[in-house]
Amino acid sequence: MNSQTIRLLVTRALTDKAMAFAGERFHIWCNPHDRIMTTPELLAAAQAHGADALLVTAFDRLDKAAIEALPPAVKVVATYSVGHNHIDLAAASARGLAVLSTPDVLSDTVAEMALLLMLAAARRAYEGQRLIYDGRWVGWTPTLLLGRDVVGARLGVFGMGRIGRSVARRAARGFDMAVHYHNRSRLPGELEQGAVYHADAADLLAVSDFLVLTAPSTPQTARFLDAARIARLPRGAIVVNVARGDLVDDAALIAALREGQVAAAGLDVFDNEPDIHPGYLDLPNVFLQPHQGSSTLGARVRMAELLTTSIASVLAGAPVANRIV
């Protein structure tokens, strides 16, 4: 299929530069509303626009019923995310639908967010800011907001994919951290870069002064960080999540943050976003971000470039590296 004739439905307006990049290549219809489309709206728009491909976000849920109801002309679903837990891959595969995502182009960007969260949680950035904004700062004292050292601490990475490896590399090189990790399988030495593998995630927890969650959301990782696993962390550990909210049992983490088993948490992702567990909002020892780990101008353009290029390739019958099914 000639890329000039491809009709692309975009479910959320991208940055101007990203939209321009896609618009130069395809006929685009973009959701005019600043909100998620309902499934009936998405299906109706795909039909009305005669879409060959959909560019969706991680918050457009494409379950089995939605995939089966897509108009036959739709051949590709490209998700503007590296996570793809919102798409029923088995249903897509059964229907012969190609599913594309955005690996690599955002790994370092999300890793930066993980480092920000580690530092902010360890150095009590939220409490410090509140002190100033609330007019309660009365000056320097030797005991003001005592935090934790990041340099030289042990980092546990749960999920050593591209993002996990980027976090590990930066933590080891920039902060002299001793990196440990758990992954479904051990990485080859050149990817491990000196990190210590723990086949059993429970062993990883025991050595994680800082625990960073970078594993995908799957039935196996859902509620990974529950009360029993939190109890295995060293007392006063710091927890960071840049993966998906459902990896964490919120009630258990909130209880541990209140009680001190977890000293602080830096969270960019939550279960049931944006309606996050209210328990987090009462805690001083958290640093919360609104799921913006991959949100830089550069990453957003790279994501659009990758998806539009690969949509055109797939529709022309060519293989692409970022195809999931």
- Binding positions for ligand DGY, rule: CB under 6 A: 58, 81-83, 106, 293-294
Between residues 198 and 291, which has the closer beta carbon with respect to ligand DGY? 291
Between residues 147 and 293, which has the closer beta carbon with respect to ligand DGY? 293
Calpha distance 63→66 (Å, rounded): 5
Between residues 84 and 123, which has the closer beta carbon with respect to ligand DGY? 84
Between residues 81 and 261, which has the closer beta carbon with respect to ligand DGY? 81
For the question of residue 291 being annotated catalytic, the response is yes
Which residue bears the tokens 């896609």?
22
In angstroms, what is the minimal distance from the CB of 148 to ligand DGY?
26
In angstroms, what is the minimal distance from the CB of 174 to ligand DGY?
23
Query: Which among 297, 161, 128, 175 has a CA at the least distance from the CA of 242?
Result: 161
In angstroms, what is the minimal distance from the CB of 163 to ligand DGY?
9
* Torsion from C-alpha of 169, 158, 256, 249, nearest 10 degrees: 140
- Which DSSP string do the residues of 212-253 spell out, in sequence order? EE-PPP-TTTTT-B-HHHHHHSPTTEEEEE-S-GGGB-HHHH
**Of residues 124, 291, 300, 302, which has the active-site annotation?**
291
**Of residues 154, 162, 182, 244, which has the active-site annotation?**
244
75 in Cβ contact with 53 (< 8 Å): yes
In angstroms, what is the minimal distance from the CB of 14 to ligand DGY?
13
Amino acid at 47: Q
For the question of residue 84 being annotated catalytic, the response is no
- Is residue 314 within a helix (H) or strand (E), and if so which, with residue range? helix 297-315
For the question of residue 273 being annotated catalytic, the response is yes
Indicate which residues carry an active-site annotation.
244, 273, 291
